[in-house]
């Protein structure tokens, strides 16, 4: 017999009754029923009930075991009494009477219990992650992640993509986040960087004549943490294709991701139609470039109804250039109680409040109510109602100013209204391609123009587009949103060196700096570079959505905490004096 097990803890069935078996696993739970000891023995695959009574030769030893001890048992498979069958587990028809036992690993007093669904502080969970990972929910999440990655690989190979590996130590590259720098021992005073993404390498793969590349790639970014973002590293499905248009990229990635969500979505609806929405429309309708389309609410501009009207705050606001008023319709939200609740929401978000109108039935007809309705009068109020398509029992909320100042709150208000009024479908994955991103943005304080998104994108219109106002330039750049999260980002690349130089020049980068930072890419573009494009899909966020959790750390095996610390491995740590000396570095204490 194998030294540790003849079966897993999920394999035994009624067909094994009478067999002598060997199982190894962890003591999930111990129960003493009048001198008979029952143990739920758990391994990665499942659970088997084992037991012994004073007739067992190892009864005294079994009495000593505690939760999470790792043990091996030998015993005889017996059928459970019919009334004691457990239909919830595959091994529920049988139990194993222990004849021999070996303790493979005893456990100290546990800082967190594996059995049950108790909540523990994140610090405890991350410090003792190896125990946290034994819990059933975490086992399922990590298995899901592994299965998703395997399925992605199969689906990419089925579309004639090949997987190639790119370096994980390279040169620093400005791609929107801070690099993790790695000092060089052989070149004192110089540094490598961990790649924020394989961006330049995958473009160079296309220049090298390979047609379809993909990789499950690790990416490293020194970022501030959020619930849906790791502060140090993450994995993405990275892909690139030659001789393609934007639509070709969409046509390649959609069946892969749609198939993943259908395979692992637990029966939830997966939208088949993925609309393409311009960045400008997404900002107007949803207040964000990652809208949750499960929520049907669309915002609208209603400035004309307030210009020169009786509501002085909005009327004066509209006298300033670049300002507007937007309405958030709330079907079914037409009560003062709900409107007051949303007004309180706005105050929590740092606004003085949020104007509203709601429509109610007065018996002899419809009446618009609320402070705004009284100030702007029935004609303007009725025009707003008709524009928004609202009726009795509905409401509308209003925000004004420069869109950049209120869009974040507007987006959050839209989500809150959709959730509270039960307009947002819960068992659905809704996707949308966000397209036509602006390539440049202007700093409001300095007036300087810089890249708003990926600097390697081809401008729509090529070189001619770069001759006008940079803020009018749109790129062949796109994101895929799902349920309020960005899960894919990509672009058709700028593969012409003269357009590359001009694009960087508009963002304040001179030719020498471009050649210095992107020398390999710039040089390669002089040797017959093909048109190419691609994208990257965030593995962590995809699994987070499939696992129905809002915290990305629930689907990463060994995540950092909110302070970018690995509590289990005590990282980051202080270097030794010898290490610093070898690298020619010294640490300067911060004030």
175 pLDDT exceeds 70?
no
Contact at 8 Å (CB) between 358 and 339? yes
> What is the spatial distance between Cα 261 and Cα 46, in angstroms, rounded to a whole number?
25
DSSP-derived letter for residue 584 is T
> What is the spatial distance between Cα 437 and Cα 408, in angstroms, rounded to a whole number?
18
> What is the spatial distance between Cα 538 and Cα 2, in angstroms, rounded to a whole number?
41
Contact at 8 Å (CB) between 138 and 159? no
Close Cβ partners of 561 (under 8 Å, ≥ 6 residues apart): 122, 123, 126, 225, 567
What is the mean pLDDT of the segment spanning 148-170? 97
CA dihedral 212, 217, 222, 224 (to 10 degrees): 90
306 pLDDT exceeds 90?
yes
Per-residue pLDDT tens over the stretch 317-367: 999 999 999 999 999 999 989 999 998 999 999 888 889 999 998 877 889
392 pLDDT exceeds 90?
yes
> What is the spatial distance between Cα 275 and Cα 245, in angstroms, rounded to a whole number?
17
Whole-model pTM: value is 0.93
> What is the spatial distance between Cα 288 and Cα 410, in angstroms, rounded to a whole number?
9
CATH number for the domain whose boundaries are 14-105 = 2.40.50.140
> What is the spatial distance between Cα 46 and Cα 7, in angstroms, rounded to a whole number?
11
Q: Work out the angle between the directed axes of helices 246-264 and 136-158 (0-180°, nearest 10).
A: 140
152 pLDDT exceeds 90?
yes
- For 96-100, 202-206, 212-216, 451-455, which range has the lowest pLDDT when averaged over its residues? 451-455
> What is the spatial distance between Cα 342 and Cα 332, in angstroms, rounded to a whole number?
13
- For 82-96, 159-173, 216-230, 400-414, which range has the lowest pLDDT when averaged over its residues? 216-230
**Count of C-beta atoms within a 10 Å radius of residue 267:** 7
- With CA atoms as reference, report the closest residue to 295 among 280, 309, 285, 308: 285
| Bond prior to 264 in cis (omega within 30° of 0) | no
Average pLDDT score, the chain: 94
H or E element that contains 23: strand 20-33
CATH number for the domain whose boundaries are 139-168+196-274+432-560 = 3.30.930.10
The pair of structure tokens assigned to 391 is 């009726």
Close Cβ partners of 92 (under 8 Å, ≥ 6 residues apart): 80, 85, 86
Contact at 8 Å (CB) between 230 and 559? yes
Close Cβ partners of 48 (under 8 Å, ≥ 6 residues apart): 9, 10, 12, 23, 25, 40, 41, 91, 94, 95, 96
Close Cβ partners of 248 (under 8 Å, ≥ 6 residues apart): 241, 533
Question: pLDDT category, 589, cuts 50, 70, 90?
Answer: confident
The pair of structure tokens assigned to 572 is 């980051």
pLDDT above 90: percentage of residues in the chain = 86
pLDDT for 29 equals 95
- With CA atoms as reference, report the closest residue to 99 among 50, 65, 64: 50
What is the mean pLDDT of the segment spanning 264-283? 97
Contact at 8 Å (CB) between 207 and 524? yes
Question: What's the Rg (C-alpha) of the chain?
Answer: 30
> How far does the chain reach from its first CA to its final CA, in angstroms?
65
Residue bearing the bigger pLDDT, 197 or 223: 197
∠ CA 564-569-575, rounded to 5°: 80
Contact at 8 Å (CB) between 543 and 230? no
DSSP-derived letter for residue 350 is T
What is the mean pLDDT of the segment spanning 51-62? 94
| Cα within 13 Å of Cα(246), Cβ side | 21
CA dihedral 75, 81, 87, 88 (to 10 degrees): -50
Question: pLDDT category, 176, cuts 50, 70, 90?
Answer: low
Q: Work out the angle between the directed axes of helices 136-158 and 539-546 (0-180°, nearest 10).
A: 120
What is the mean pLDDT of the segment spanning 567-572? 95
H or E element that contains 532: strand 532-538
H or E element that contains 541: helix 539-546
Burial class (CB in 10 A: 0-12, 13-18, 19+), 225: middle
Burial class (CB in 10 A: 0-12, 13-18, 19+), 130: exposed
Sign of the four-CA dihedral 412, 418, 422, 426: negative
Strand partners, 237: 216, 537
pLDDT above 70: percentage of residues in the chain = 99
H or E element that contains 368: strand 366-369
> What is the spatial distance between Cα 401 and Cα 326, in angstroms, rounded to a whole number?
9
454 pLDDT exceeds 90?
no
Q: Answer yes or no: same fold for 139-168+196-274+432-560 and 295-424.
A: no
Taking the domains of the chain in order of start, what are their residue ranges?
A: 14-105, 139-168+196-274+432-560, 295-424
What is the mean pLDDT of the segment spanning 178-191? 93
Map residue 342 onto helix, strand or coil.
helix
Question: pLDDT category, 207, cuts 50, 70, 90?
Answer: very high
Per-residue pLDDT tens over the stretch 17-46: 999 999 999 999 999 988 899 999 999 999
CATH number for the domain whose boundaries are 295-424 = 3.30.1360.30
Question: pLDDT category, 174, cuts 50, 70, 90?
Answer: low
- With CA atoms as reference, report the closest residue to 238 among 194, 291, 193, 200: 200
Contact at 8 Å (CB) between 384 and 422? no
Contact at 8 Å (CB) between 176 and 229? no
What is the mean pLDDT of the segment spanning 12-20? 97
- With CA atoms as reference, report the closest residue to 487 among 544, 440, 439, 553: 544
């Amino acid at each position: 017999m194998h030294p540790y097990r003849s079966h897993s803890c999920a394999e035994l069935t009624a067909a094994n009754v009478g067999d002598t078996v060997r199982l190894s696993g962890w003591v999930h739970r111990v129960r003493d029923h009048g001198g008979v000891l029952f143990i739920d023995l758990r391994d990665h695959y499942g659970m088997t009930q084992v037991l012994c009574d004073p007739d067992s030769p190892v009864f005294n030893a079994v009495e000593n075991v505690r939760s999470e001890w790792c043990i091996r048992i030998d015993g005889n498979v017996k059928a459970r009494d019919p009334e004691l069958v457990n239909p919830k587990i595959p091994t529920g028809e049988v139990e194993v009477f222990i004849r021999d036992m070996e303790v493979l690993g005893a456990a100290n007093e546990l800082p967190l219990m594996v059995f049950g669904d108790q909540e523990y502080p994140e610090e405890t969970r991350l410090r003792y992650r190896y125990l946290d990972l034994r819990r059933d929910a975490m086992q399922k999440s990590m298995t899901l992640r592994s299965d998703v990655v395997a399925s992605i690989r199969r689906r990419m190979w089925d579309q004639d993509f090949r997987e190639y590996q790119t370096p994980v130590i390279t040169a620093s590259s400005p791609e929107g986040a801070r690099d993790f720098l790695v000092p060089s021992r052989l070149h004192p005073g110089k540094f490598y960087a961990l790649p924020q993404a394989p961006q330049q390498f995958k473009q160079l793969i296309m220049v090298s004549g390979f047609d379809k590349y993909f990789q499950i790639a690790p990416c490293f970014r020194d970022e501030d943490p959020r619930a849906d973002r790791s502060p140090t590293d993450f994995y993405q499905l990275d892909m690139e294709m030659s001789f393609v248009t934007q639509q070709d990229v969409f046509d390649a990635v959609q069946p892969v991701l749609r198939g993943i969500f259908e395979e692992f979505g637990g029966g939830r609806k997966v939208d088949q139609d993925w609309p393409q929405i311009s960045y400008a429309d997404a900002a107007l309708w949803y207040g964000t470039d990652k809208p949750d389309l499960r929520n049907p609410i669309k915002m609208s501009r209603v400035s004309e109804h307030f210009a020169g009207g009786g509501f002085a705050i909005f009327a004066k606001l509209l006298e300033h250039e670049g300002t507007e008023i937007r309405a958030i319709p709330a079907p079914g939200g037409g009560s003062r109680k709900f409107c007051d609740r949303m007004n309180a929401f706005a105050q929590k978000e740092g606004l003085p409040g949020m104007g509203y109108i709601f429509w109610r039935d007065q018996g002899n007809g419809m009446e618009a109510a609320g402070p705004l309705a009284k100030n702007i009068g029935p004609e303007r109020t009725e025009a707003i109602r008709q524009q928004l398509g609202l009726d009795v029992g509905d409401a509308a909320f209003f925000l004004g100013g420069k869109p950049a100042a209120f869009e974040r709150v507007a987006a959050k208000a839209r989500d809150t209204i959709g959730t509270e009024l039960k307009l947002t479908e819960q068992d659905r994955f809704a996707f949308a391609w966000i397209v036509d991103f602006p390539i440049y943005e202007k700093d409001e304080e300095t007036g300087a123009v810089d890249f708003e998104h990926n600097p390697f994108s081809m401008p729509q219109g090529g070189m001619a587009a770069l001759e006008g106002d940079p803020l009018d330039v749109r790129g062949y750049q796109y994101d895929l949103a799902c349920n309020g999260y960005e899960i894919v980002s990509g672009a058709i690349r700028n593969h012409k060196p003269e357009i590359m130089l001009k694009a960087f020049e508009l963002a304040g980068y001179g030719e020498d700096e471009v050649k210095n930072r992107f020398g390999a890419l710039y040089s390669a573009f002089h040797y017959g570079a093909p048109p190419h494009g691609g994208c990257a899909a965030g593995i962590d966020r995809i699994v987070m959505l499939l696992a129905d959790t809002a915290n990305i750390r629930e689907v990463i095996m060994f995540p950092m905490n909110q302070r970018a610390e690995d509590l289990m491995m005590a990282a980051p740590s202080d270097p030794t004096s010898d290490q610093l000396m070898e690298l020619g570095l010294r640490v300067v204490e911060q004030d």
